[in-house]
Amino acid sequence: MSERRAYLHKGVGETVGVVTLDGRPERLFVSWPSDDPLDAEGVRGVARIKKIEKAFASAFVQLPGGRDLILPLRPDMPKLVEGGLVEIEIKTASRQDKAAVARFVAEGEGEPRVIVSALTVEERLRLHVKAGSPTMGDAALQAVEEAEADALATVFALPGGGDIAVEPTRALTAVDVDLGAREASDSKRAARQANMAALSVAARVLRLKGLGGIIVFDLVGRGHDGQALTTAARNAFSPDNPGVGVGAISKFGTLEMIVPRRAPPILDRLLTAGGAPNPRHQARRAARALEREGRAQPGGRLVARCSSAVAEAFAVELDAGVADRLGRRFIVEPQPGWPDDRMEVFAA
């Protein structure tokens, strides 16, 4: 039986939740005070219809105080008019390059308003791990940092040998299965075992990274047992239902799937649009390190060295909060020329 555990870290300028599956990170939920509370899966309310684009079978709608949402139009929906009201629920939060997508609930009545707010990080954890309270403290912070490292990784080892590489593109996410040094009595058996393991590991990793849409597995070997592999894929991705679709294995040895997108990829939080370390996230890593060093050195003077961009983000968002926890016994020293993912924290 698989075991899931929940971890909750409440740091300065962040609340982070982790769900682990058999000891490995499976989901990573991050909340910052600056987040838009109306840009999250599950938010429900009465929105104003700003514009109808019949050519694209879509409408642009807006909750009070929120950004534009895309509402796909269906033939079974009542006729909508610009300026009218519609009750909607956010199905997919916005991503770096795409607006959030809503689903139609009913015709709107009254005034534009929010009916159901977004779930908190702790509430999201309890959706996936219902037994007991989330683990907090140092164990939670360790789980967060392990989950972030996994989310940033590309290659993941398979049990028994071999690995997969998970690489998102604009159109799809490719999962390349590599046999590596996996041992078995024959090559066909080794390939089958690797492909089965790849489906399970990839399902966990894709949930951790927050990746969905079209997923293409480049399987190893030939003469695949299509029924067994598609059944294994449905089982591995069953936590992502409703909306998972599994195609047949192609003559080129690829398995194509569709997995619903519900949240922005976690890399949108950890990295910039250009793929570089996000100074705002790195500043939070510095705050964690200062707190950790502060507990180890009670009353000691603390120094954090980091890039100029990280120091600026720290000053704007985190300085006051860290001072509330530690007192004014720390200093952040910007180091010109340092990359944003380099930092040093120590007791002076």
pLDDT tens for 308-334 read 999 999 999 999 999 999 999 999 999
For the cut 70, the answer to whether the pLDDT of residue 185 exceeds it is no
The CA–CA distances, whole Å, from 166 to 66, 133, 219, 278 equal 34, 32, 13, 21
287: nearest Cα among 95, 33, 37: 33
Distance CA 243, CA 6 (A): 25
Q: How far apart are CA 225 and CA 255, in angstroms?
A: 12
- pLDDT tens digits for 34-83? 999 999 999 999 999 999 999 999 999 999 999 999 999 999 999 999 99
What pLDDT is attached to residue 1? 75
Q: Is 57 left (phi over 0), alpha (psi -120 to 50) or beta?
A: left
| Structure tokens belonging to residue 21 | 């599956």
The Cα 62–Cα 85 span in angstroms is 10
Q: What is the mean pLDDT of residues 117-133?
A: 94
